[in-house]
A = this chain, B = another copy of it.
Amino acid sequence: MISFRILQESKKSRARLGLLKTPHGEVQTPTLVPVATQATVKAMTADQVLATGTQLLICNTYHLHLRPGEGIVKKHGGLHAFMHWPRPLMTDSGGFQVFSLGFGMDRGTTKILKEDKRPIIKPGSQPKLVRIDERGVTFRSYIDGKKLYLDPKSSMRIQAALGADIAFAFDECPPPQATRAYHEESLRRTHRWAELSLNEHSKKQALYGIVQGGKYQDLRQKSALFIGKLGFEGFGIGGEFGASKPEMIRMIRWVTDTLPEEKPRHLLGIGYPEDIPKIIRAGVDTFDCIVPTHYARRGIAFVAKGRLDLKRRSCLNDHRPIDAACACPTCKNYSRAYLTHLLRAHEITPLTLITFHNLFWFNAYVARIREGIRRGTV
């Protein structure tokens, strides 16, 4: 199904240059994995995504289960055919969305990292909209209120129907407000669900196990050890990553130091440009992230010096491209002034043009880091 070969290991850090082979082609790692939540990268055609240098996409099992339903995708020949994406694909397990709909929604946020001073979540605590038990989770569709159920078996069945190259085990992603005792209880569940996922998963796709354990070093290491010994073909690193960036890197290292070296590691949902060299030096091979696409649709372009807010009126007289050093078609063909005009006029086109730039820019940025590993500078 998939194979992973480490081509070069950094002598300066835990970074490694790898080659991930899948039924839909090869992926040079480390690499960014842009999100195609509902089977499309928002505001982009598949051909445009290919032209940004994107090697691998991740789709969302939870969203696609709710709409259009995995049956429709399967009858269509699977996600690759459905979305006209010829390269490798991942699907997450749906766990993160279900849990962020639970405790996250109760607290008015779906962000795992958000600080919250309200009462902590203890063993036995239950969110309002989601019912968690040892077997799985019951929740309601945000689209039509229909009662739904997800467990390791159904997550594997849905992911098999979607047919990505790489699926993820069904896990619980506990919120940062959870006590240590809750984390221990949740981790036991996640580990049992990992074994069940492995038993249930389609042999036609690779399966990654997910390491949890919150901000606790012993739990993270215990999880990496347990998940690392099961028969997964790669690993996801999920959950919260502490209150600060240095803490995040420390926590990733606890995991990457413990996981088997020879298998690929995917960091779930992380990746501002300033984080990327750090997570790669901490030993991460792939990482999915909404940052390039999400910011683009809010008019924010990434450039060498940081972020450029193209909604700003002052850009209307700026005839320069977003980034003069960028080789993307948006930078070759369009000015900041034009993009700013289109954003201010509430047009759709700039969302595409800026998304193109951001994805191209992120991919070029990560390609330079790969080159740095090759040359021994990262």
Contacts and interface: CB of A to CB of B under 8 A. Distances in A.
A191 to B, nearest CB: 34
A340 to B, nearest CB: 8
Given A40-B342, A43-B349, 4 more contacts: A38-B341, A39-B338, A68-B340, A84-B338
B347 A40 contact: yes
7 contacts: A38-B345, A39-B341, A45-B349, A46-B333, A68-B345, A76-B335, A82-B335
Interface in A20-41: 38-41
A16 to B, nearest CB: 34
A173 to B, nearest CB: 23
A83 interface: yes
Interface in A179-205: none
Contacts of A335: 76, 82
B72 A42 contact: no
A348 B39 CA distance: 12
A270 interface: no
A274 interface: no
Given A76-B319, A316-B72, A334-B84, A47 B345 contact: no
Contacts of A333: 46-47, 84
Interface in A353-369: 353
Contacts of A47: 329, 333
A334 B81 CA distance: 8
Contact of A344 (B68, B334, B338): B68
Contacts of A351: 348
- Top 10 A-B pairs, shortest CB-CB distance: A43-B348, A68-B341, A84-B333, A38-B345, A40-B349, A72-B316, A82-B338, A40-B347, A68-B316, A67-B345
Nearest to A313: B68
